[in-house]
Amino acid sequence: MPFLVDWRNDPKVIVNMDDRRKVNLKVMHTWFNINQNKQDTIAYVAFVNDKPFAYVAFSKIGLKENVAEGGMFFNPEMINSGIFANVFLAREIILKNINTSIIFSVVRNINKRGIKIQEAFGAVLDRKDEAFNYYFLYKKNRAPVLEKYADILGYKEDFDCLLRNWLYGD
């Protein structure tokens, strides 16, 4: 949690948030626990060597519509590591398990890294307003990027077993 507080309060990060107020550890714990207990939300913190690497959440999960709003916050020190790709692959397994094929993302329009990630995964820009870009990311668009990550990381057999039919099937 302290990682999330520090990350959330970082001036380079806070400008990309809906709510730009600074938070403390108590606020972050409360927020995380609320998200953990919602029926339509899955939220977790990924750790590498006992160091928090990413916070990943799916909210507003619509099991009938196969859509969820997705959000990811990364430790910037680790973004160019193979761990980054691992988090995306793990996230896809969760999406498969909850039968959610479409991710809806809201990215503040000044968040250049967030926009680049959306573009790299083939997200479709739905609309823009003065503050945000709204994207839909379909599994057929994510598939080639995730397959490439799996090949680079040596997970080809795992990808074929766990994700190929999910991503490329109907």
pLDDT at 144: 92
Show Cβ contacts of residue 134 under 8 Å, excluding neighbours closer than 6 positions: 104, 105, 106, 125, 126, 127, 128
Give me the helix-helix angle, 139-153 and 82-97, nearest 10°.
Answer: 130
Give the model's pLDDT for residue 54: 74
Low-confidence ranges of the chain (pLDDT < 50): none
b or e along 31-51 (b: 16 or more beta carbons within 10 Å of the residue's beta carbon)? bbeebeeeeebbbbebeeeee
- CA dist., res. 140 & res. 3, Å (int): 33
Amino acid 78: pLDDT: 66
> Which DSSP category does 80 fall into?
T
Whole-number Å distance between alpha carbons of 58 and 134: 15
* Residue 56, burial from CB neighbour count under 10 angstroms (0-12, 13-18, 19+): buried
Measured between alpha carbons, how far is 66 from 60 in angstroms, rounded to an integer?
11
pTM of the model: 0.77
